[in-house]
Amino acid sequence: MSETITGAELERAGAALAAESARFAGLGWMRGTSGNLSVALRSDPLRLAVTASGRDKGLLRAEDVVVVDADGAAVPDQPRPDQRPSAEAGLHARIARVAGAGAVVHVHVLAPVLAAERWPGGVVLRDLEMLKGLGRGAHDDVVTVPVVANSQDMTWLGDRFEDGFDPATPALIVARHGVYVWGDDLEQARHRAECLEWLVSFTLAANQAGHI
Ligand SMILES: CSCCC(=O)C(=O)COP(=O)(O)O
Ligand SMILES: [Zn+2]
């Protein structure tokens, strides 16, 4: 595939990011201007299409997208040079690089952030059918979703992500902030995010009720 990213290709990626963002916003997982999404356009050198910073993610248009490099920095000659990439593009790029993800979604959904308060060393999920939605066994796997402290420094956050990275667990909770979930493409990343939210909500509620 050519190294050059065409305008049409970027518009397609932007339209897909806008559609997914609207869907997450409809779930209440991108309140205010929170959350950001990315999709890989090239692997070598890495290029991601990432949502523009500071926008209402429920109202994105196909052009509200920025191409970033392996460090999450905007590459030259953007169609919309007035737009900044997501402030968290650096972590998207690190996840894409380390996990080989084709798409990364970051949402400010409550349950994982609450769970990180309860279990700051990692949120353990076990014996639940929905684990299959993360590509894991329903009964045989004990899945620990890593928790890292929040930071505005994406390099530091990326280092903490790499420290706890398990290729079999496609999610990372950032305490007092939100969750990152990834997959081969946007649809898989969304399915995983939805399953993770269910799993964590169940685990928190069951723990509060004294069942686990
Ligand atoms: C009120 S949201 C604060 C920033 C944030 O955490 C986020 O997810 C959105 O940042 P972006 O730069 O992608 O708009
Ligand atoms: Zn965020």
Q: Residue 3: its pLDDT value, please?
A: 76
* Averaged pLDDT, groups of 10, the chain, 212 residues long: 87 98 98 99 98 98 98 97 98 99 99 98 98 97 98 98 98 99 98 98 98 96
User: Which residue reads 């903490």 in tokens?
Assistant: 160
127 occurs within a structural domain: yes
171 occurs within a structural domain: yes
* Burial grade of 153 (CB within 10 A; 0-12, 13-18, 19 or more): exposed
Q: Residue 2: its pLDDT value, please?
A: 67
On whether 106 is known to bind a ligand per the annotation, the reply is: yes
Q: Going by CA atoms, what residue is nearest to atom 5 of ligand 1?
A: 34
198 occurs within a structural domain: yes
2 occurs within a structural domain: no
- 2 C-beta neighbours (distance < 10 Å), count: 7
Pocket probe for ligand 1: among 48, 88, 174, the residue whose CB has the most ligand atoms within 8 Å is 88
Q: Is the ipTM of this complex over 0.85?
A: yes
Q: Residue 70: its pLDDT value, please?
A: 98
Q: Residue 1: its pLDDT value, please?
A: 55
The pocket around ligand 1, CB under 6 angstroms, is made up of 32-36, 51, 53-54, 86-88, 106
The domain spanning residue 13 has which CATH number? 3.40.225.10
Supply angle C-alpha 164, 31, 14, rounded to 5: 80
Annotate 183-204 with b (16+ C-beta within 10 A) or e (fewer).
beebebbbebbbbbbebbbbbb
30 occurs within a structural domain: yes
First to last CA, the chain: 50
The pTM (predicted TM-score) of the whole model is 0.98
Q: Are 52 and 85 in contact (CB under 8 A)?
A: yes
Q: How many domains does the chain have?
A: 1
Residue 132 sits in which domain range?
7-208
Residue whose C-alpha is closest to residue 193's, from 114, 118, 98, 106 = 106
Pocket probe for ligand 1: among 17, 30, 36, the residue whose CB has the most ligand atoms within 8 Å is 36
Q: Residue 109: its pLDDT value, please?
A: 98
User: Which residue reads 């993800």 in tokens?
Assistant: 101
Atom of ligand 1 nearest to the CA of 35: 8
31 occurs within a structural domain: yes
1 occurs within a structural domain: no
138 occurs within a structural domain: yes
